[in-house]
Amino acid sequence: MVEVKFYDEVDDSLLKFAVIIARTDEKWVFCKHKERDTYEIPGGHREDGERITDTAKRELYEETGAIEYTLKPVCVYSVTAPDNFGGEETFGMLYCADIRSFEPELHSEIERIVITDQLVDQWTYPLIQPKLIKEAARRGFL
């Protein structure tokens, strides 16, 4: 069973991920990884010594090519799953981004981005990412 929880804040040292709910022209922006047939919200692991906001900016650029955008922190989320990090609760920071412009090409493991009016059906993380979107909406960010 996957459990997702939300917090207003936790100690910065606990934040291992940044996930960014991205929109452009009031449409959703999703990523398709080269090795998967599913879609996901941009995001990824924090690197050693990196500020979590810098993780969000780096991942947003790497996974969508976003070059002009506004980025707003939403909340901290956690995931606990038996097949993830030995069942330990892991923490990430959730952001929302409004992207104004993109680079013409992607330079990462992402094959393409999809810009759509509707949420995708084929999620890479179906037990996690729809809950992140729902929480951002509940908090008034979407």
| Separation in Å, CA 123 to CA 4, 8, 134 | 16, 26, 14
What pLDDT shows up at residue 85?
79
The residue whose two tokens read 């393409």 is 112
Contact indicator for 13, 89 with CB cutoff of 8 Å = no
What pLDDT shows up at residue 24?
98
What pLDDT shows up at residue 94?
98
What pLDDT shows up at residue 73?
98
* Sign of the Cα pseudo-torsion (9, 72, 119, 115, in order): negative
- Written as tens digits, the pLDDT of the chain (142 aa) is 899 999 999 999 999 999 999 999 999 999 999 999 999 999 999 999 999 999 999 999 999 999 999 999 999 999 998 887 788 999 999 999 999 999 988 878 899 999 999 999 999 999 999 999 999 999 999 9
Name the CATH superfamily, with its identifier, for domain 3-138: Nucleoside Triphosphate Pyrophosphohydrolase (3.90.79.10)
Q: Is the pTM above the cut of 0.85?
A: yes
Residues facing residue 43 across a β-bridge: 19
What pLDDT shows up at residue 81?
87
**Residue extents of the structural domains in the chain:** 3-138
What pLDDT shows up at residue 102?
96
